[in-house]
Chains A and B, each alone.
Chain A
Amino acid sequence: MSRPPGLLGAAWLIARKDLAIEFRSRSAFLSALVLSLLSLVIFYFAWDPTAVAAVDVAPGILWVTFTFSGLLGLHRSFGVEAQERAMDALLVAPVAREAIFLGKALANFAFVLGVQAVALPALALFYNLPLSVVLGPLALAMLLAAIGLTCVGTLFAGITSNTRMAELLLPVLALPFFVPIVLPAAQVTAKLLAGRPLDESLGWFRILLAFDLVFLYACMLTFPFTLED
């Protein structure tokens, strides 16, 4: 007899399915990549290197770029379910509603990490930054930030997918929530690039971690309430 998968198993199945769909067309991922690379280029040409050092301008550029390219991938997360009302099939299946959220958040997380993996080396290249020294803590900050961004972004993508002006509404709703993620992450990046000792960044890491824990649970628990029942 069939035994439906548990919360994590179902989430994993849904994440895999979402990534398979995205991999088929790759259009959202490529758009996000191109946007982030283009942003880096535009910021470069808008910068006066004689006035400001690269290590001072890089954190802001990096995190603005991540924030907006992360938003790009979120919208299609629930778009695939709306097309042929595939969401109904997901809701009838004997899996927890929370698993749907978790699965989509996982797929979005992989998406954001993918963009980060390209944009960060590009930043180092374009701005001639010595990143290898601080790569460990920087990667941790990016990971923690990606978790927070995808949790909140996935939930709001789910809400806005059923509204008018969905593509405009998602940033308007989500960006205030991104600030307690981007602010600490950018501050950590700035301190690391300036060669400051690691313990000066501890406070920021704590905020990132606390945000992730609180909002992972809050978004997962409130997601079922966004569904009609």
Chain B
Amino acid sequence: MTPLLEARRLVRAFGTRRAVNDVSFGIAAGEALALFGPNGAGKTTLLRLLAGLLKPNSGAAAIADATLPAPHARARVGLISHRTMLYDTLTARENVRFAAHLHGVPEADASTQRALELLRVADRADVPVRALSRGLQQRVAIARAIVHGPDVLLADEPYTGLDEQGASALTGLLLERRRAGAALVVVTHALSEGLAVASHAAVMRGGSFVRLEPTQGLDVARYAAEYRELFA
């Protein structure tokens, strides 16, 4: 299967330190990559390269035939982070509609309503975001990220601050996005959540992938034990 999201020998350095050191992988539509690793391994830098927020020093990241960070490639990306990236004095609807307008989504109001309904926050849509709980804010943030129907969804520690209910809602949502044909990359510390969502799992250390494999048939407990051993 031709990959929808592809990284080809990505390198990104800050000064003399290589945060991402020759990383390559491909994710097809409907697949998801869970990215694990300790702090400072380069996961966030890799995600920012895939989102078009950073330019690589060498190598390239591409979505189908569009090379990042060109605008027409960025248009196909939805970004979720542990920070909501919302304007908290505006309402949920205003935040999502702003994103829809920025992406040039036709019939922005209708698309906004659909996204809010999909995330089950439509009933609180006209309240300032800061009046919402952390879990609801995260859902609004995801609605904002998907309102333009991105092919690629990038999530950096999306489970941060979510309670059990919020976490299972998020997992359900990410799986639904996969079924809709999106390609996902999810960076997380939560091994079990990550493995539940993903079709592939990678472990990153010192800027490189030290493990990369499909999740099918993986034993979570053994994976966790091997992971702990890697960083003992």
Contact A94 B90, beta carbon cutoff 8 Å: no
Residues of B within 8 A of A84 (CB): 83-88
Contact with B along A88-130 (1 / 0, CB 8 A): 1111111110000000000000000000000000000000000
Count of inter-chain pairs, beta carbons less than 8 A: 88
Q: Which of the residues B55, B71, B90 comes within 8 Å of A4, measured between beta carbons?
A: B71
Contact A3 B104, beta carbon cutoff 8 Å: yes
A3 to B106 Cα, complex, angstroms: 8
Instruction: Give the size range of B's interface with the partner.
Output: 20 to 34
A-B contacts, 23 of them at CB < 8 A, read A2-B75, A2-B148, A3-B104, A3-B106, A13-B98, A17-B87, A20-B90, A20-B94, A21-B87, A24-B128, A25-B89, A80-B87, A83-B88, A84-B86, A85-B83, A86-B87, A88-B81, A88-B83, A89-B79, A92-B53, A93-B99, A93-B102, A95-B102
Contact with A along B68-110 (1 / 0, CB 8 A): 0101101101010101111111100010001101111110000
A155 within 8 A of B: no
Contact with B along A147-164 (1 / 0, CB 8 A): 000000000000000000
Contact A229 B89, beta carbon cutoff 8 Å: no
Chain B residue with Cβ nearest A13? B101
Contacts A2-B106, A228-B53 supplied; 6 other A-B pairs, CB < 8 Å: A3-B104, A4-B103, A21-B90, A92-B53, A92-B74, A93-B103
Interface of A is mostly: helix
Chain B residue with Cβ nearest A81? B87
A5 within 8 A of B: yes
Contact A93 B74, beta carbon cutoff 8 Å: yes
A84 to B90 Cα, complex, angstroms: 13
- A27 → chain B, closest Cβ, in Å? 10
